[in-house]
Amino acid sequence: MSLRRRQFLHLLTSLSAAQLASLEVLAAKEPAWASGFAGVVDDMAPHDLEVYGDIPSACHGTLYRNGPARYARAGRRYGHWFDPDGMIQSFAINAAGISHQGRFVRTAKFVEEQAAERFLYNGAGTVFRDSLPVRSNESTNVANINVQPLNGELLALWEAGSPYRIDPETLETRGRLHWNDDLDGVPFSAHPRFDERGHLWNIGSVPFVGQPSLVLYHVSADGQLRNWRVHKLDFAGYMHDFVLTPQYLIALNSSAVLESGETFVDRIHWRESQPSQLLVFDRETFDLLHTIEVPATFVFHFGNGWQDRQMLSFTACRYPNSDIVTHGMRRLAGQQPGPYHPAPELVRYDLSLQQRSAQITSLDIAMEFPSFDGRYPFTSQAVIGSGGQRNSESELGSAVQSVDPRTGEHQIFDYGPGIIVEEPLFIPGPDGGYVLHSFHDYQHQRSGLAILAAGRLAEGPLVKADMNRVIPLGFHGCFLSA
């Protein structure tokens, strides 16, 4: 809880109703969008949405999302968006309508703190007095970044430890995923990628233990670990996502370098003079083939990658520095108004493996939460994402958009102030398919879903559905068709 808010709540306990009324002005100073960061304390029981429009049958299925949800316990509040315990949201979409429910991931930390009725450990970005020492990263695994399918179940993904296994029907937690004893508790990023066969590939960033290193993973569609390898790195740049192509894995060792500091986030220092490195690994052998230096860069998320002979191309939502993670995500979770960090910018990277050089082209469009048609992971295609960050009240997107990274062709529908658009996903269907995204309507304190025609985004939603309750703003998810 921010100091201002804590003081305010403290005041509330000692004031009369008349005095409270005069304090409404003070309360109103919290930005309207801040309700998306209030959090919840209980699982969210199934609840029907009010649906406007006809749901295309191609969109029948379930949207799963993950995000930080438990912000406070016993008068203490987390101060960074990375901190709160993960909650899996599901939206069951069928001909009869849309039903939402949410369930906290029962991580070891969540179970322990639930019993203690207070926070026991520091968060990724928050220090509590009297917090307990940790055994390993797993002591503070909150499984709050992404949820993706593997072999008939869901993985609730963090990035500094192992994923948790989730029942897709009940959202119950089945325990922590154990690949083998060597990899027990070893970082596994929240952004695994799938190839055309449904094999899962991932990185795991290990910035603290001895020399910084990167773990590479290959898991077959039936959930069997096929291959893994650890590479030493030249420096401990923050890494959140990577790019997969038919032959390569490409990771960006960013210039947000993990050094000293009290929390994970405190350790992140922007090093403008440290060029970032594009690390190109062979997908089958996991050998490091090329290290290509690029100007100091920070990236959370990449679009898909494609390969044309010796030219590798991919998109990224690039930041000029790491203020988003060191300041922006604190400000959001702290429910504070601006100043704002620089907006993410959609760029295209073209790597020449022969010349070991990278050409970086800006598409001059603000974008975050990029996604693409997962049926064609290695084909050059439009990248879908949230947009409008440059004019946003919160710094989060108010628009849904798609951009062709070769031609720059751009479609956008901007809901304007009052709506925060969460990660949009492509759903295959007739006439170019659909785009599905959840949203937070902070003017009316409602959460919901929208479906747009992928080829006609500017026309706005075909279907809009919402409900009279607020889901904490989340990060990533997946759609599984019925």
Partner 1 sequence: MLRPLSIFTLLCLSIPPLAHGHDLKLVVRNLSEPGGTLNWMMFDSAQSYDAGDNSVASGRHRVTGDTIELTLHGLPDGTYAVRLFHDENNNGELDTNLLGIPREGYGFSNNSGERGPASFDDAAVAVHGDQTIEIRVR
User: Does residue 139 bind partner 1 (CB under 8 A)?
Assistant: yes
Q: How far is the CB of 126 from partner 1 (least distance, A)?
A: 15
Q: How far is the CB of 209 from partner 1 (least distance, A)?
A: 5
Binding piece for partner 1, criterion CB under 8 A, among 175-183, 270-278, 302-310, 333-341 = 175-183
User: Does residue 225 bind partner 1 (CB under 8 A)?
Assistant: no
Amino acid identity for residue 440 in this structure: H
Extract the tokens encoding 423. 């990660």
Contact predicate 461/444, CB 8 Å: no
Contact predicate 70/52, CB 8 Å: no
Number of residues that bind partner 1 (CB under 8 A): 18
- Interatomic CA distance for residues 448 and 362, integer angstroms: 32
User: Does residue 115 bind partner 1 (CB under 8 A)?
Assistant: no
Extract the tokens encoding 103. 């369930």
Q: How far is the CB of 91 from partner 1 (least distance, A)?
A: 36
User: Does residue 134 bind partner 1 (CB under 8 A)?
Assistant: yes
HEC-encoded secondary structure of 22-47: HCHHHHHCCCHHHHHHCCCCCCEEEE
- Interatomic CA distance for residues 44 and 100, integer angstroms: 8
Q: What are phi and psi of 62, to 5 degrees?
A: -130, 130
Among 153, 167, 184, 282, binds partner 1 (CB under 8 A): 184
Q: How far is the CB of 109 from partner 1 (least distance, A)?
A: 12
Q: What are phi and psi of 281, to 5 degrees?
A: -105, 145
Among 132, 289, 358, 412, binds partner 1 (CB under 8 A): 132
- Interatomic CA distance for residues 191 and 202, integer angstroms: 7
> Is the Cβ of residue 251 or residue 351 nearer to partner 1 in the bound state?
251
DSSP secondary structure code for residue 11 in this structure? H
- Interatomic CA distance for residues 240 and 203, integer angstroms: 9
> Is the Cβ of residue 27 or residue 134 nearer to partner 1 in the bound state?
134
Buried b vs exposed e over 400-430: b needs ≥16 C-beta within 10 Å? Answer: bbbbebeeeebbebbbebebbbbbbbbbebe
Among 11, 20, 209, 311, binds partner 1 (CB under 8 A): 209
Q: How far is the CB of 320 from partner 1 (least distance, A)?
A: 31
- Interatomic CA distance for residues 57 and 321, integer angstroms: 43
Q: How far is the CB of 2 from partner 1 (least distance, A)?
A: 25
Strands 50-52 and 399-403: unpaired
User: Does residue 206 bind partner 1 (CB under 8 A)?
Assistant: yes
Q: How far is the CB of 210 from partner 1 (least distance, A)?
A: 8
Binding piece for partner 1, criterion CB under 8 A, among 181-189, 216-224, 413-421, 445-453 = 181-189
CB-side neighbour CA atoms (13 Å) of 127: 8
Q: How far is the CB of 181 from partner 1 (least distance, A)?
A: 7
Q: Give CA separation, 303 vs 214, 314, 366, 379, in Å.
A: 21, 6, 14, 11
> Is the Cβ of residue 122 or residue 389 nearer to partner 1 in the bound state?
122
> Is the Cβ of residue 58 or residue 132 nearer to partner 1 in the bound state?
132
182, 187, 192, 195: CA torsion to nearest 10: -30
Handedness of CA 455, 458, 462, 467 (dihedral sign): positive
Contact predicate 136/121, CB 8 Å: no
User: Does residue 185 bind partner 1 (CB under 8 A)?
Assistant: yes
Q: How far is the CB of 161 from partner 1 (least distance, A)?
A: 10
User: Does residue 183 bind partner 1 (CB under 8 A)?
Assistant: yes
Among 1, 38, 40, 230, binds partner 1 (CB under 8 A): 230
Q: How far is the CB of 137 from partner 1 (least distance, A)?
A: 8
> Is the Cβ of residue 116 or residue 311 nearer to partner 1 in the bound state?
116
User: Does residue 137 bind partner 1 (CB under 8 A)?
Assistant: yes
* Token pair 């007739």: residue: 430
User: Does residue 133 bind partner 1 (CB under 8 A)?
Assistant: yes
HEC-encoded secondary structure of 215-251: EEEEECCCCCEEEEEEEECCCCECCCCEEECCCEEEE
> Is the Cβ of residue 136 or residue 359 nearer to partner 1 in the bound state?
136
Q: How far is the CB of 278 from partner 1 (least distance, A)?
A: 24
Among 10, 29, 135, 375, binds partner 1 (CB under 8 A): 135
> Is the Cβ of residue 216 or residue 452 nearer to partner 1 in the bound state?
216
User: Does residue 210 bind partner 1 (CB under 8 A)?
Assistant: yes
- Interatomic CA distance for residues 477 and 149, integer angstroms: 9
Among 136, 170, 285, 291, binds partner 1 (CB under 8 A): 136
Binding site for partner 1 (CB under 8 A): 132-137, 139, 181-186, 206, 208-210, 230
